[in-house]
């Protein structure tokens, strides 16, 4: 985490367009099903493992020790460095303006001195989402160094890829981080995370929304993982 945050802060200070995505099983299987979305991920500068099963894949199939990097932990670490360096942060996303305001208030409590110079919770849009010209202009006028985009996968990754040239800043897809900060969703306890059961904890909170996603993606991921592991072992 420290070396990653240092690299991201260095890029933000140099205003290098940088796209960072935090991958889980859902994102991986969306990319497997959609070549255009896979190309979006391939064009990014960073794709990191937010989901524990992706760490298993790296270890079992590729022989790489891959630590899990949770979105909320990265956002807090990055915002602490941003506050220390005087970097300007913007947040785009969230379910409603009130939720976003609560998230920003909580974030500034956790990170005193953080400069949140732009925030906006857009109205719901079907995939793929687009930004209003007025909001793009406001983000450009705010001279942001870091933009946290919380539209959910795959909307936020496609949105970042679409506007990376117009917004010369470090852009992160942060998924449910705004919901965690606002209190709209509860984070899984650390012991649940260590057991790789965070998906189950979230499923119990939102069974109707997450059941179709998990039933569609999780079994296929396990089949792919077993097949890839067997092929690697055979070689």
Q: What is the DSSP letter of 49?
A: E
Predicted confidence at residue 195, as pLDDT, reads 75
List of residues 6+ apart from 155 with CB closer than 8 A: 125, 127, 128, 129
Neighbours of 103 (CB within 10 A): 26
Print pLDDT tens along the chain (235 aa).
899 999 999 999 998 889 999 999 999 999 999 999 999 999 999 999 998 889 988 998 888 888 889 899 999 999 999 999 999 999 999 888 899 999 999 999 999 999 999 999 998 888 888 888 999 999 999 999 999 999 999 999 999 999 998 887 899 999 889 988 988 888 778 887 777 778 788 888 888 888 888 889 999 999 999 998 998 888 7
Q: Structure tokens of 143?
A: 């001279």
Predicted confidence at residue 128, as pLDDT, reads 82
Q: What is the DSSP letter of 197?
A: -
User: Whose CA is closest to 94, among 122, 117, 70, 75?
Assistant: 122
Question: Distances from the Cα of 182 to the Cαs of 97, 176, 207, in angstroms?
Answer: 11, 10, 20
Furthest CA-CA distance within the chain: 56
Predicted confidence at residue 183, as pLDDT, reads 82
Name the β-bridge partners of 22: 48
Could you give the count of Cα atoms lying within 13 Å of 58 in the half-sphere of its Cβ? 17
Name the β-bridge partners of 89: 116, 146
Predicted confidence at residue 126, as pLDDT, reads 83
| Residue entry with tokens 């990376």 | 164
160 burial (CB, 10 Å; 0-12 / 13-18 / 19+) is buried
């Amino acid at each position: 985490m420290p070396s990653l945050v240092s690299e991201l802060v260095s890029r933000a200070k140099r205003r290098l367009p940088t796209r960072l995505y935090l991958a889980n099983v859902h994102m991986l299987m969306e990319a497997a099903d959609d070549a255009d979305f896979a190309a979006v991920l391939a064009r990014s500068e960073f794709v990191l493992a937010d989901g524990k099963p992706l760490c298993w894949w790296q270890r079992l199939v590729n022989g790489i020790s891959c630590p899990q990097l949770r979105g909320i932990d990265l956002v807090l670490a990055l915002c602490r460095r941003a506050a220390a360096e005087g970097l300007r942060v913007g947040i785009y996303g969230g379910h409603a303006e009130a939720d976003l305001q609560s998230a920003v208030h909580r974030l500034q409590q956790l990170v005193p001195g953080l400069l949140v110079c732009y925030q906006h919770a857009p109205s719901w849009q079907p995939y793929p989402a687009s930004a209003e010209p007025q909001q793009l202009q406001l983000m450009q006028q705010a001279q942001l160094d870091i933009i946290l985009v919380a539209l959910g996968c795959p909307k936020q990754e496609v949105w970042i890829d679409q506007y990376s040239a117009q917004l010369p800043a470090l852009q992160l897809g942060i998924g449910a981080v705004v919901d965690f900060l606002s209190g709209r969703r509860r984070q899984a306890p650390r012991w649940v995370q260590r057991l790789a059961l965070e998906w189950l904890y979230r499923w119990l909170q939102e069974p109707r929304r997450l059941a179709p996603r998990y039933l569609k993606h999780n079994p296929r991921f396990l089949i792919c993982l077993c097949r890839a592991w067997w092929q690697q072992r055979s070689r």
